[in-house]
Amino acid sequence: MTNKKLRIGYLSTFYHTSFILMGTRWLEEKLNINAQWSMFGGGPAIVDAFSRGEVDIGYIGLPPVMIGIDRGVPIICVGGGHVEGTVMIGPPGCGTLEDMGGDTGSVLEQFRGGCIGCPPSGSIHDVIIRNLLEEHDLGESVEVRNFAWADFIPDALANGQVDAAIGTPPLSVAAARVCGAKVVIPPSKLWPFNPSYGIIVSHELLRDRGGLVEDFLRLHEDASNLIRDEPERAARVVSELVEVVDSDFILQTYRVSPRYCAGLPREYIDSTMAFVPVLRNLGYVVNELDEGDVFDMTVIEKVHPGEHHYFL
């Protein structure tokens, strides 16, 4: 009999292991738990759900987690998931980073006076693009338009409501299909090793059901391995679950930035903590967050003690 309930907040990001765990039902079959999945429009919305005590685990990029921690939401990162999951895209006629000889400023300059579509305010994509625009003195010259649901951005790009967009690999694949959009700045060039998502838990869950957190992370790692080692099989699982996209779409998504692992290596942590001054500069946080405020390594060190797999 199923006697344990786990409330999980997730996003519509197909390369997250949430879709593998839902499609395979490993949580129910291997852990004998009642997994209650709730989809949200962005990481900040999951953080808000944590603040209301409505979820136990969340799939979230680290900047919104840090914003939540700064305002007192009792959450912490216990595992990784993916790095370099932010990509900038534009219409077919725009210049790419390669076209501009690797000059990011020139890429951004072509959108002066224009608008860049972006997932919700406070999401990792929002923080990255606003910081990039500030670094190139374009913060007042290029509008960042936040969408509560990033799924609407490809149509906005196709209809000319925005001139470019930034978001996840699935966004780039969808936009390519909708309007021939192309990658303008690839994930590795926007913010190396940026923590596109991690496994976030409530302090209460970690304190009272640490064994369940460990079991979840083990299955999360198994799902990460499936995506990395058997992408065709993983893509079939996801496409059969969601039904609205085919397995080829999922495979294309996996290939945009193949950086999957449950581990929390030093590079992941350092890249995350480098967001602190950026978040302060943008006015998203007021406190100096320490590593221990954001990460608890005790469980993942048991689950994934060896070398990480992000760059295999």
pLDDT of the residue at 1: 43
Token pair listed for 114: 């224009």
| Secondary structure of the chain in HEC code, one letter for each residue | CCCEEEEEEECCCCCCHHHHHHHHCHHHHHHCEEEEEEECCCHHHHHHHHHCCCCCEEEECHHHHHHHHHCCCCEEEEEEEECCCCEEEECCCCCCCCCCCCCHHHHHHCCCCCEEEECCCCCHHHHHHHHHHHHCCCCCCCEEEECCCHHHHHHHHHCCCCCEEEECHHHHHHHHHHHCCEEEECHHHHCCCCCCEEEEEEHHHHHHCHHHHHHHHHHHHHHHHHHHHCHHHHHHHHHHHHCCCCHHHHHHHHHHCCCECCCCCHHHHHHHHCHHHHHHHCCCCCCCCCHHHHECCCCHHHHCCCCCCCCC
pLDDT of the residue at 160: 95
Q: Are 4-84+194-303 and 87-190 the same fold in CATH? A: yes
Domain boundaries, the chain: 4-84+194-303, 87-190
For residues 183-192, one letter each, b for 16 or more C-beta atoms within 10 angstroms of the residue's C-beta and e for the rest, the string is: bbbbbebbbe
Q: What is the mean pLDDT of each run of 10 residues along the chain (312 residues)?
A: 82 96 98 97 97 99 98 99 97 96 97 97 97 97 95 94 96 92 95 96 98 98 98 98 94 95 98 97 96 98 95 82
Q: What's the pTM value of the predicted model, to 2 decimals?
A: 0.94
Q: Does domain 4-84+194-303 bear CATH number 3.40.190.10?
A: yes
pLDDT of the residue at 239: 97
pLDDT of the residue at 81: 98
* Fold assignment, 87-190: D-Maltodextrin-Binding Protein; domain 2 (3.40.190)
